[in-house]
Chain A
Amino acid sequence: MSDVLTVLPELILAVGAMGLLMIGVFSGDKSYGLLKWLASGLFAVAFLVMIGSGAEQKLAFGGMFVTDAFALFMKSVVLTGAVFALGLSGQFMRERGIARFEYPVLVVLAVLGMMMMVSANDMLALYIGLELQSLALYVLAAFNRDKLRSTEAGLKYFVLGALSSGMMLYGISLIYGFTGSTSFAEIAAYGIGSGTNGLGLLFGLVFLISGFAFKVSAVPFHMWAPDVYEGAPTPITVFFGTAPKVAAMALFVRALIVSFPDLTQQWQQVVVFLSVASMILGAFAGLMQTNIKRLMAYSSIAHMGFALAGLATGTVDGVQGVLVYMAIYMLMTAGTFAVILGMRRKDGLTEDISDLAGLAKTRPALAAIMATLMFSLAGIPLLAGFFAKLYVFMAVVEAGMYWLAVVGFVTSTVAAVYYLRIVKLMYFDEPNENIEPLKDRGIAYVGFVTAALNSPLHLLLIWPLTLAAGLAAQSLF
């Protein structure tokens, strides 16, 4: 019974998803709006139950599943991101004729997978959670199945995801082979052998990490991201950009910190490689983009690089930095996509960056929201994005990894170019075609809330956030 209580939030989502599916099956696509609300309600209930059960560590199902402060923190971020994504998928989905009842159900299932990923304490639980999430996401990417680009995105994501899952399973099997267990705790207890034994375990670890890197879209496992971001329907791209990244990062952190404390020196090198490659590629490749969704894909790659820099330290401070970073990153991304969904001309939505020109004159409120988010993404002081980077960099410097911090500084400077270019376009260039007023209230709410949270107002909230992140990080060590 205690096992069931521990997984109660997940159970609620699982049963709730079935319920939603039933409603959808019987009342058809006209229940889309209702289902969105019900899905959000499920997330709220799951969140409340989760908060109610507290942050102390509880194991379930023979140690395969764990809830602790870390899980609580990351799940909260995941749920918030999912609610934002649902909030942004009103008008757009209806206009495209893809406001189908399967969408909320798939989102709930994906979130269920993510919550299991965050709480996974065993390689198999990890894999199950990951696959549950991924399968839902493959379908979501191809959700606009009559559109070539959407189906192409879904297919690419599926093929590459299958490859990465295969590699990860191979890694898990190697780890099992060398340690004799799939449980995080037992793998950690096994320690490292010497000679080939250790090297074999290390191979397994590298393959495992490659799977995580694929999910967080770290270089060189990132290449699906720009295509999928661009091809998927925009509200689904919002979802892709927020919740799954957070969940995958949670998995990444927990698996490495909890199961491989003795191999820290080794996995640090891999993570540093992923981090540096992601920061550099994300910063430089973003410069040439003209499509704002593709730009956000590269931006996301660069941001994942920064977050991984925090993980690379392997310290409590570093993990705390990662958590703060992911929370703020989720807010920035959701907000930016809200504005992208608001980029509507007479002939429909546009994704061209140049269409933002002169936005400050035609739609000053939207431009102000976008400018706040861009400054925050660029890491300009006094905005939330700055503190996200600050905590990671402080941890990196404290860990003595100065050159990693230097790479971070340099690449964030380069990346600032594309963020600031958008601000410049909006405020200093002449409008070529007017952006229509917002009709979707969800977009306005999400945009306003995220911009407010990223604006200097966040100074009121950053302290509790870092405190919570600190507690969450400590629960892993």
Chain B
Amino acid sequence: MSQFHIIVFGPLLGFLIAGLFGRRLGDRGAMGVTTGLVTLSAVLSAFALKDVAFDHNQYRILVLEWVRSGTLSFDWVLNIDTLTAVMLVVVNTVSALVHWYSIGYMSHDPHRSRFFAYLSLFTFAMLMLVTSDNLVQMFFGWEGVGLASYLLIGFWFKKPSANAAAIKAFVVNRVGDFGFSLGIFALFMLTGSVVFADIFASLDGVADARFIFLGYEVHALTTIAVLLFIGAMGKSAQLFLHTWLPDAMEGPTPVSALIHAATMVTAGVFLMARMSPILELAPGAMTLIMVIGGATAFFAASVGLVQNDIKRVIAYSTCSQLGYMFVAIGASAYGAAIFHLFTHAFFKALLFLGAGSVIHAMSDEQDMRKMGGLSKMIPLTYVMMMVGTLALTGFPYTAGFFSKDMIIEAAFATHNSMGSFGFLMTVVAAFMTSFYSWRLVFMTFHGTPRADEKVMSHVHESPAVMWVPLAILAVGAIAAGFVFSDYFIGHDRFDFWAGALVTSHGDVMDEAHHIPGWIKWLPTGMMALGFLLSVLFYVVKPGIPKSMAATFPGAYKFLLNKWYFDELYDRIFVRPAFWLGRVLWIRGDQKTIDGFGPDGIAATVLAAAKRIRVLQSGYVYHYAFAMLIGIAIVISYFVLTGGGF
């Protein structure tokens, strides 16, 4: 029994207690147990980070031997290195704060014990994912968080849109999971193990191995890296598999903050960082990651420019920031990716919870066109949102400034053949990020109120249980950057990561420190430009956006409709799938299989049974006749075949 057992199994215990005895405990009991246990985990995680990352201890704690089957062998393990410790802090801290926040936010909901049970289940699954030392346990956690996400998106199951969003998230993730599982199989086939340490140890021998698939000879490690990346794309909502993330905002806002901003969606980044030794040997996959990451950063930011739903703006922002992280992965700057993951968790959770506070104040209104002028009425929330926005846009010396700028610099310095594409995309995205973030602030908090008086009269500041978590996150959003940057991405990074990531002297991070000065200040300039344009559009001359939209209706609609991805997928996948399903259901199942199968067989059987009953006439001579016919048939058979001698 170590502190790690408590960290990991505390949330599970909370889930079990709240889930099984929630009704008997009552809502207060369920909330108290889950929140208390997760908070304990969060506090212990902070100590664990110090222990692992700064005192340089590593742990491998066996929970139980899991599978021993032929050459397939792995255990259920708590594997604690720096990467895991960082994730423990992120997951447990945000989770604990979200638990606290939810006590206030969900205070009117009748199903609170179920909600808190799901939150704790999610936390446990996420911890399973980050503590694993093998791909199977990781996949278990991976599916666990997917399940919790599904349950929480569809938490308000009476809302059809919430159910649809939950199903969409599940189905889209399935596409990614298919890639992930194929990747696991391929890795096992190639290296004979699913345990990270064994896989990495055997990589040298298989660096040039090739698979033959349908006559094509492909580089094995590149294929595997691409398959794993497809898994990461699904979970981390990268371009083409991103469509579920905006819809996932149908879930309660604390869920969006925890799962769809800070933790679960970053699992893909975590997976890629874990697999960094493989990626280093798969340059083709790195190019793909760079392209997809850069394209996602640009695409999502551009869509975020025109959205009117406050949560959707932040959702697209999340999508875009995840793109940044993958650009960092593609540039081999794994430390930068994890650093951005770390800082992003704070300021994005802050923004979501702040948005939740706004929505709470506005009587569940999410449309920013119906907000405005809230800065004086909910000043605390206003300040928090300002902090979050500054950190997100990369205002100097806030968290985002360090992590995001590092990514852009790494993209400039990298030798990845698509590095310049990534660089360009992230720079433009930085500009757009600034624009839409300030747009959100101005539309929500400044100008004249656009909501009706009834709503405005109800506007109130959130209770302490909600704003205190915001304040803690705000501290992180400001300080996480300059406190940790030296360790994550600076000179101390070799000691800090201690082999958990691929780091070496003279790598892209070193190169990124020696780039022209104007590149270093380019993101900040973009940020300032975006801010100024936003001020012009939404404060100085509020008529501009409308006239812009009227002047370029095509472009505006294109962005507003999210590049028509949903419509496209609907045409290409959803409708044909429904059509096929209907054909198989009515023609295939009901008419063919049921007709000839169950119903048909049942009818035939009964008909046959009736006929046999007629044979059983009760007359002895009928019976004797049957016996003689039987003999005659057998004898004739032998006469005709000659008896087989």
Taking the closest CB of chain A, its distance from the CB of B614, in whole angstroms, is 10
Q: Which of B616, B620, B634 contacts A285 (CB 8 A)?
A: B616
Is A221 a contact partner of B630 (Cβ separation < 8 A)?
A: yes
Q: Counting CB contacts under 8 A, is A266 at the interface?
A: yes
Write the B278-296 contact mask toward A (1 if CB under 8 angstroms, else 0). Answer: 0000000000000000000
Is A199 a contact partner of B620 (Cβ separation < 8 A)?
A: no
Is B631 a contact partner of A288 (Cβ separation < 8 A)?
A: no
Is A199 a contact partner of B643 (Cβ separation < 8 A)?
A: yes
Taking the closest CB of chain B, its distance from the CB of A163, in whole angstroms, is 5
Is B618 a contact partner of A192 (Cβ separation < 8 A)?
A: no
Q: Counting CB contacts under 8 A, is A33 at the interface?
A: no
Q: Which of A198, A266, A288 contacts B606 (CB 8 A)?
A: A288
Which chain B residues (594-645) contact chain A, with CB distance < 8 Å?
Answer: 605-606, 608-610, 612-613, 615-616, 618, 620, 622-624, 626-627, 629-631, 634-635, 637-639, 642-645
- Chain B interface: which of A101-109, A112-120, A206-214, A348-356? A206-214
User: How many angstroms from the CA of A194 to the CA of B645 in the assembled complex?
Assistant: 7
User: How many angstroms from the CA of A160 to the CA of B643 in the assembled complex?
Assistant: 28
Q: Counting CB contacts under 8 A, is A223 at the interface?
A: yes
Is A223 a contact partner of B644 (Cβ separation < 8 A)?
A: no
User: How many angstroms from the CA of A223 to the CA of B613 in the assembled complex?
Assistant: 11
CB nearest to B637 among chain A residues: A269
User: How many angstroms from the CA of A460 to the CA of B127 in the assembled complex?
Assistant: 45
Is B622 a contact partner of A223 (Cβ separation < 8 A)?
A: yes
Chain B residues with Cβ under 8 A from A210's Cβ?
Answer: 627, 630-631, 634
Q: Counting CB contacts under 8 A, is A111 at the interface?
A: no
Q: Which of B610, B635, B642, B644 contacts A206 (CB 8 A)?
A: B635
- A284 in contact with B608 given A202-B638, A206-B634, A210-B630 (CB within 8 Å): yes
User: How many angstroms from the CA of A344 to the CA of B285 in the assembled complex?
Assistant: 78
Q: Which of A155, A164, A199, A287 contacts B645 (CB 8 A)?
A: A199
Chain B residues with Cβ under 8 A from A227's Cβ?
Answer: 616, 618
Q: Which of B606, B623, B644 contacts A265 (CB 8 A)?
A: B644
Which chain A residues (221-250) contact chain B, with CB distance < 8 Å?
Answer: 221, 223-224, 226-227
- A156 in contact with B627 given A227-B618, A288-B609 (CB within 8 Å): no
User: How many angstroms from the CA of A87 to the CA of B506 in the assembled complex?
Assistant: 94
CB nearest to A213 among chain B residues: B630
User: How many angstroms from the CA of A414 to the CA of B618 in the assembled complex?
Assistant: 25
User: How many angstroms from the CA of A286 to the CA of B626 in the assembled complex?
Assistant: 19
Is A223 a contact partner of B616 (Cβ separation < 8 A)?
A: yes
Is B609 a contact partner of A207 (Cβ separation < 8 A)?
A: no
Most buried by A among B606, B630, B642: B630
Q: Which of A156, A203, A287 contacts B638 (CB 8 A)?
A: A203
Taking the closest CB of chain A, its distance from the CB of B157, in whole angstroms, is 31
CB nearest to B601 among chain A residues: A414
Is B605 a contact partner of A284 (Cβ separation < 8 A)?
A: yes
User: How many angstroms from the CA of A45 to the CA of B181 in the assembled complex?
Assistant: 68
- The dominant DSSP class at the B interface is helix
Chain A residues with Cβ under 8 A from B615's Cβ?
Answer: 223
User: How many angstroms from the CA of A142 to the CA of B612 in the assembled complex?
Assistant: 26
Is B627 a contact partner of A163 (Cβ separation < 8 A)?
A: yes
Is B626 a contact partner of A206 (Cβ separation < 8 A)?
A: no
User: How many angstroms from the CA of A164 to the CA of B623 in the assembled complex?
Assistant: 11
* Residue tally, chain B, CB below 8 Å to A: 28
User: How many angstroms from the CA of A312 to the CA of B132 in the assembled complex?
Assistant: 56
Taking the closest CB of chain B, its distance from the CB of A416, in whole angstroms, is 12
Which chain B residues (539-585) contact chain A, with CB distance < 8 Å?
Answer: none
Chain A residues with Cβ under 8 A from B618's Cβ?
Answer: 227
Q: Counting CB contacts under 8 A, is A464 at the interface?
A: no
Chain B residues with Cβ under 8 A from A288's Cβ?
Answer: 606, 609-610, 612-613
- A223 in contact with B612 given A192-B645, A199-B645 (CB within 8 Å): no
User: How many angstroms from the CA of A265 to the CA of B643 in the assembled complex?
Assistant: 9
Q: Counting CB contacts under 8 A, is A19 at the interface?
A: no
Q: Which of B605, B623, B635, B638 contacts A223 (CB 8 A)?
A: B623
Is A195 a contact partner of B627 (Cβ separation < 8 A)?
A: no
Is B629 a contact partner of A287 (Cβ separation < 8 A)?
A: no
Is B623 a contact partner of A156 (Cβ separation < 8 A)?
A: yes
Which chain A residues (248-268) contact chain B, with CB distance < 8 Å?
Answer: 265-266
Taking the closest CB of chain A, its distance from the CB of B629, in whole angstroms, is 7
User: How many angstroms from the CA of A221 to the CA of B629 in the assembled complex?
Assistant: 10
User: How many angstroms from the CA of A271 to the CA of B613 in the assembled complex?
Assistant: 24
User: How many angstroms from the CA of A194 to the CA of B642 in the assembled complex?
Assistant: 11
Chain A residues with Cβ under 8 A from B627's Cβ?
Answer: 160, 163-164, 167, 210, 214, 220-221, 223
User: How many angstroms from the CA of A198 to the CA of B608 in the assembled complex?
Assistant: 38
User: How many angstroms from the CA of A221 to the CA of B639 in the assembled complex?
Assistant: 21
Q: Counting CB contacts under 8 A, is A273 at the interface?
A: yes
Is A203 a contact partner of B635 (Cβ separation < 8 A)?
A: yes
Chain A residues with Cβ under 8 A from B626's Cβ?
Answer: 220-221, 223
User: How many angstroms from the CA of A227 to the CA of B612 in the assembled complex?
Assistant: 14
Chain A residues with Cβ under 8 A from B643's Cβ?
Answer: 198-199, 202, 266
Taking the closest CB of chain A, its distance from the CB of B638, in whole angstroms, is 6
User: How many angstroms from the CA of A203 to the CA of B645 in the assembled complex?
Assistant: 13
CB nearest to A194 among chain B residues: B645
Chain B residues with Cβ under 8 A from A224's Cβ?
Answer: 623
Which chain B residues (12-31) contact chain A, with CB distance < 8 Å?
Answer: none
Is B609 a contact partner of A284 (Cβ separation < 8 A)?
A: yes
Q: Counting CB contacts under 8 A, is A159 at the interface?
A: yes
User: How many angstroms from the CA of A281 to the CA of B609 in the assembled complex?
Assistant: 8
Write the A290-330 contact mask toward B (1 if CB under 8 angstroms, else 0). Answer: 00000000000000000000000000000000000000000
Is A199 a contact partner of B639 (Cβ separation < 8 A)?
A: yes
User: How many angstroms from the CA of A163 to the CA of B615 in the assembled complex?
Assistant: 19
Chain A residues with Cβ under 8 A from B645's Cβ?
Answer: 192, 194-195, 198-199
Q: Which of B620, B629, B634 contacts A159 (CB 8 A)?
A: B620
User: How many angstroms from the CA of A227 to the CA of B608 in the assembled complex?
Assistant: 20
Is B629 a contact partner of A220 (Cβ separation < 8 A)?
A: yes
Taking the closest CB of chain B, its distance from the CB of A210, in whole angstroms, is 5
Q: Counting CB contacts under 8 A, is A270 at the interface?
A: yes
User: How many angstroms from the CA of A241 to the CA of B336 in the assembled complex?
Assistant: 82
Taking the closest CB of chain A, its distance from the CB of B477, in whole angstroms, is 60
Is B631 a contact partner of A285 (Cβ separation < 8 A)?
A: no
Chain A residues with Cβ under 8 A from B631's Cβ?
Answer: 167, 206-207, 210
User: How many angstroms from the CA of A195 to the CA of B635 in the assembled complex?
Assistant: 15
Known: A223-B627, A285-B616. 15 other contacts (CB 8 A): A164-B627, A198-B643, A203-B635, A210-B634, A214-B627, A221-B626, A221-B627, A223-B622, A227-B618, A266-B638, A273-B634, A284-B605, A285-B613, A288-B609, A288-B613
User: What are 16 residue pairs bridging A and B, where the CB atoms are less than 8 Å apart in the complex?
Assistant: A156-B623, A160-B623, A160-B624, A195-B645, A198-B645, A210-B627, A220-B629, A220-B630, A227-B616, A266-B643, A269-B637, A270-B634, A281-B612, A284-B612, A288-B610, A288-B612
Across the A-B interface, give the 9 residue pairs with the lowest CB-CB distance, nearest first. A220-B630, A223-B623, A288-B609, A285-B612, A287-B609, A220-B626, A198-B645, A199-B643, A202-B643
